[in-house]
Structure 1
Amino acid sequence: MIEDNFILREPLLDPKQRVIGFQFSWQQADSNAQVDSQNLDYLLEFVAGHLNDDDGFLLADSLVFLEALPELLHADGLKSFPPKNTVLILHKKYFADESTLAAVKELRALGFGICLRGAEVTTLERSFFAFVSHIEVQLNAANFASQAKVYASLKQSSVKMVARNVSTWQDFDACAALGLDSFVGKLHLIPRPSSAPKSLNPAQTTILQLMEMVRKNADVQQLELVVKRDATLAYKLLRYINSAGFGLRTEIQSLKHAVQMLGYSPLYRWLTVLLATASTSGYSPVLLETAIVRGRFAELLGQMKMPKSEAENLFVAGMFSLLDRLLGLPMEDVLSTIQLPEVVTEALISRGGVFGPYLALAEACELNSMLVGSLAESLKISAEDVNTAHLAALVWAKNVATAA
């Protein structure tokens, strides 16, 4: 059944590793299999329904890439997407049909993007440029020099080049040098090699001290004394808290105000985010955003089955699950720096315990993993609820990442 499908997201990175968009698709055993129009239409409707509200598009300036077939070029769901943020992926074989070409022209006139798939860039006719906004390209590291010449000429046009199947950081750097945006699959979950010494910097040490004090419910005045050592940390912490959409009608003005309004648990989670951003080497915007999505996703899944106070620890588990890569330290070293609840530690080490399956489910939705269905079934969470939480976490994380 269509309703049993699970959404897979893949980030689109610009040459500076910033997330500028996502492709949404369905999890499927054969990643090369073509999804039928009914499935694609349902995906379009579902994504549109959860990324838009009365205030407009919820992912700010991010691009949304969706695979399309000719019969979907007039789908009602497209009316819910802002044209400037929407790119439909269409194979070149469909451009031979006059009615399809007419629909493409109409969508382009409205401001929608069209990404051309399956084209041979070296022999591509310039006439295509009038109909598309993006072209998918496949990097060939063995023939890089000749590709570079072709891509250099394409850069003179208004058509954006998007690299597919970029599987190593060396290939990503090659694409970045050519000015290509890149879909990177799971590459962003793999830390870039670094020769920098792996140790906590002073800001991170201060944040860990604050986290331990918050865990022990230390007096707010004591917390403020520590925060005053680094005015930048205090500023960033308040920016995160005020960006996250707690539904507060007043802006949080100080650490004391934050504790009075929110309590200690939400403060702890924001210190976790702050710890992840305090790296002075190897900072990765996409990895940070992924960690925030994972944490919020796991938390939203947990809220369906447990009290809010317990689910808040799932956010911490999600953040810590990538903190080793964000800090450039082994997980054992990260866990030795701070005492976490046993259920969180168990989830991080073995994906076991009460929290483990929720964290594993959030992780599986980042990859084309067939474990998603069985994990969701074991937690008795429907595909629709998983997909709703996934997109809600993405929107929430985008607001937080903007404050970084």
Structure 2
Amino acid sequence: MFAYVARQPIFNVNREVYAYELLFRVGEDNCFPDIPPDEATSKILTSTHLSLGIEEITGDKKAFINFHRDTLMFRFPTSLDANKVVIEIVETVNVDDALVAACKHIRGLGYPIALDDYDMHGKWEAFMPFTSVVKIDITEIAHDKIPALVERFKANKMKLVAEKIETYEEFHKFKEMGFDYFQGYFLARPEIVRHRKLGPNNLTMLELLALSSEASLDLEKVKTIMERDPSLTYLLLRFINNPMVNKRHTINSLKHALNFMGEVEVKKFLSLLALANLSKGQPTELMQMALVRAKFCELAYLAVSKNKNSHTGFLAGLLSLLDAMMEQRIEDLVKKVPIDDDVKDALCGKPNLLRECLNLSQHFETARWAGIKQFAAKHKVNQALLHSYYNEAIKWAKHIHNAALDKD
């Protein structure tokens, strides 16, 4: 697996993940300072790390990857599977006939070409006959000029990505304009238009979430609640059957399952199960993001805190998107669940160590490398270790979501 990566989802019009843009750095010294971009990309692509790790990061989704001049000239993208990647030509490249010819050759081999941060500059005209995707930063081009661009690109059968979409209002606006895909932080921000009602099943989930937050878990109470609904027992058994949890043991009863897992893992399972049910009807990427944050905050919090209760960091990360899932203010939601005050404060944005871990997870999501460096320096933790935690969290979230939280 490669050390330094951030992934940013690209959504379709139904708010489903179409692809991930992957942003890389290589080596502890190269991760944070400014380095030649070609050097970073070439080191990744000439190693085995990317070819071994890309599917762990993106699952079955495409990977959008930035390429600079030298990597394109030397045909580095051709070391990747053309069915799994989209080659992004960054806006800073120096364009000449040789670069156009190289990109045209790469497209001829089956690799989709995307223009990153299209700026209406004339230098891009030569790429138009073989470009598949155009990405437009909505903060860089006047909005009244964009409809004409959409009409032109659509006429040439190109797909359009709107970048820097930060609100639902922007999402709807550019969806109506005809954009195909959307990139930005809008999905993680709640649309406080209506409040989702809490039905009987949701109240049961909140009851389980409250149990998972207690300092000492009452397994008998958990067993009683889960026996009300056979599907909960089924999901617990699927969770235990996940090879990341249990590789050898055969489970023969609900009581055996709970005792086998132990208090810490049962707490995690209850939290996951509750949030998965509470987030029904919302895009699955919200749950994926919450899972990644949960595992990452658990690992980061344990690394820098004297409090060795791993569930504290896990719960803070897991609930950090609850407002977007439930379409309610986080301050109102945390009043309904008796969770630890430190977790409540972190979720509501009050400064504490848990909040710093949540901010750190967002630094990874948005590739704010300087913020990661600052956290590492403040808490005297190795930067490479933090990146390994984030990679581990992505892989863990993928396995848990597929094996434990998907009923299909």
Query: The TM-score by the shorter chain falls in which range?
Result: 0.7 to 0.9
Match of residue 392 from structure 1: 392
**Pair 204,78 (structure 1): closer, same or farther in 2 beyond 3 Å:** same
Structure 2: which 5+ runs fail to align?
Answer: 26-33
Tell whether the 8 Å contact from 1:9 to 1:23 is kept in structure 2 after alignment.
yes
Q: CA RMSD in A?
A: 4.1
Counterpart amino acid of residue 12 in structure 1? I
How much does 1:318 deviate?
0.7
Tell whether the 8 Å contact from 1:141 to 1:171 is kept in structure 2 after alignment.
no
How much does 1:187 deviate?
1.9
Match of residue 30 from structure 1: none
**Pair 351,386 (structure 1): closer, same or farther in 2 beyond 3 Å:** farther
Provide Cα deviations, 1:248-305, integer angstroms capped at 9, x if missing partner: 3468686445323321322222322232232377623333222211111112323445
SS where residue 274 of structure 1 aligns?
Answer: helix
Match of residue 162 from structure 2: 163
Provide the rounded CA distance (Å) in 2 between the counterparts of 1:307 and 1:96: 53
Tell whether the 8 Å contact from 2:323 to 2:329 is kept in structure 1 after alignment.
yes
Say which is worse superposed, 244-253 or 62-71, in terms of deviation.
Answer: 244-253
User: Are 2:230 and 1:227 aligned?
Assistant: no
Match of residue 116 from structure 1: 115
Match of residue 17 from structure 1: 15
SS where residue 263 of structure 1 aligns?
Answer: helix
Counterpart amino acid of residue 315 in structure 1? F
Provide Cα deviations, 1:42-93, integer angstroms capped at 9, x if missing partner: 56578x727725x965532122222211211377985774332222211478
Provide the rounded CA distance (Å) in 2 between the counterparts of 1:22 and 1:212: 34
Provide the rounded CA distance (Å) in 2 between the counterparts of 1:344 and 1:333: 14
Provide the rounded CA distance (Å) in 1 between the counterparts of 2:224 and 2:166: 46
Match of residue 188 from structure 1: 187
Match of residue 374 from structure 1: 374
User: Are 2:357 and 1:358 aligned?
Assistant: yes
Provide the rounded CA distance (Å) in 2 between the counterparts of 1:284 and 1:225: 31
Provide the rounded CA distance (Å) in 1 between the counterparts of 2:344 and 2:50: 33
**Pair 260,132 (structure 1): closer, same or farther in 2 beyond 3 Å:** farther
Provide the rounded CA distance (Å) in 2 between the counterparts of 1:101 and 1:147: 21
Provide the rounded CA distance (Å) in 2 between the counterparts of 1:385 and 1:367: 18
SS where residue 144 of structure 2 aligns?
Answer: helix
**Pair 346,93 (structure 1): closer, same or farther in 2 beyond 3 Å:** closer
Provide the rounded CA distance (Å) in 2 between the counterparts of 1:309 and 1:340: 17
Tell whether the 8 Å contact from 2:57 to 2:394 is kept in structure 1 after alignment.
no
Tell whether the 8 Å contact from 1:116 to 1:134 is kept in structure 2 after alignment.
yes
SS where residue 61 of structure 1 aligns?
Answer: coil
Counterpart amino acid of residue 181 in structure 2? D
Provide the rounded CA distance (Å) in 1 between the counterparts of 2:323 and 2:333: 6
Provide the rounded CA distance (Å) in 1 between the counterparts of 2:226 and 2:119: 56
Please, which of 150, 153, 171 is the counterpart of residue 152 of structure 2? Answer: 150
Provide the rounded CA distance (Å) in 1 between the counterparts of 2:159 and 2:123: 14
Tell whether the 8 Å contact from 1:361 to 1:375 is kept in structure 2 after alignment.
yes
Counterpart amino acid of residue 364 in structure 1? H
Counterpart amino acid of residue 131 in structure 2? V
Provide the rounded CA distance (Å) in 2 between the counterparts of 1:51 and 1:227: 42
Provide the rounded CA distance (Å) in 1 between the counterparts of 2:45 and 2:393: 18
Provide Cα deviations, 1:217-256, integer angstroms capped at 9, x if missing partner: 3344x53442243445444555555558335346868644
Counterpart amino acid of residue 38 in structure 1? E
**Pair 255,181 (structure 1): closer, same or farther in 2 beyond 3 Å:** farther
Provide the rounded CA distance (Å) in 2 between the counterparts of 1:208 and 1:277: 11
User: Are 2:88 and 1:89 aligned?
Assistant: yes
**Pair 93,143 (structure 1): closer, same or farther in 2 beyond 3 Å:** closer
Provide the rounded CA distance (Å) in 2 between the counterparts of 1:237 and 1:143: 53
Task: List aligned pairs for 1:252-291, cutoff 5 A.
Answer: 255-279=254-278, 283-291=282-290
Match of residue 131 from structure 1: 130
Task: List aligned pairs for 1:307-318, cutoff 5 A.
Answer: 310-318=309-317
**Pair 108,364 (structure 1): closer, same or farther in 2 beyond 3 Å:** same
How much does 1:210 deviate?
2.4
Aligned pairs, number: 388
Provide the rounded CA distance (Å) in 2 between the counterparts of 1:257 and 1:235: 14
Say which is worse superposed, 260-269 or 84-93, in terms of deviation.
Answer: 84-93
SS where residue 66 of structure 1 aligns?
Answer: strand
Tell whether the 8 Å contact from 2:12 to 2:182 is kept in structure 1 after alignment.
yes
Q: Give the TM-score normalised by the residue count of structure 2.
A: 0.76
Say which is worse superposed, 338-347 or 259-268, in terms of deviation.
Answer: 338-347
How much does 1:105 deviate?
4.3
Match of residue 210 from structure 1: 208
Provide the rounded CA distance (Å) in 1 between the counterparts of 2:71 and 2:389: 26
**Pair 236,175 (structure 1): closer, same or farther in 2 beyond 3 Å:** farther
Provide Cα deviations, 1:161-211, integer angstroms capped at 9, x if missing partner: 222222332332244452511111x2222112422x354332221022223
Match of residue 65 from structure 1: 64
Provide the rounded CA distance (Å) in 1 between the counterparts of 2:362 and 2:238: 27
Q: Give the TM-score normalised by the residue count of structure 1.
A: 0.77
SS where residue 135 of structure 1 aligns?
Answer: strand
Tell whether the 8 Å contact from 1:238 to 1:253 is kept in structure 2 after alignment.
no
**Pair 303,254 (structure 1): closer, same or farther in 2 beyond 3 Å:** farther
Tell whether the 8 Å contact from 2:191 to 2:327 is kept in structure 1 after alignment.
no
**Pair 126,73 (structure 1): closer, same or farther in 2 beyond 3 Å:** closer
Provide the rounded CA distance (Å) in 2 between the counterparts of 1:167 and 1:219: 42
SS where residue 365 of structure 1 aligns?
Answer: helix
Provide Cα deviations, 1:106-164, integer angstroms capped at 9, x if missing partner: 5445543321236578999998466333222355653565455435434xx3x432222
Structure 1: which 5+ runs fail to align?
Answer: 28-32
Counterpart amino acid of residue 360 in structure 1? N
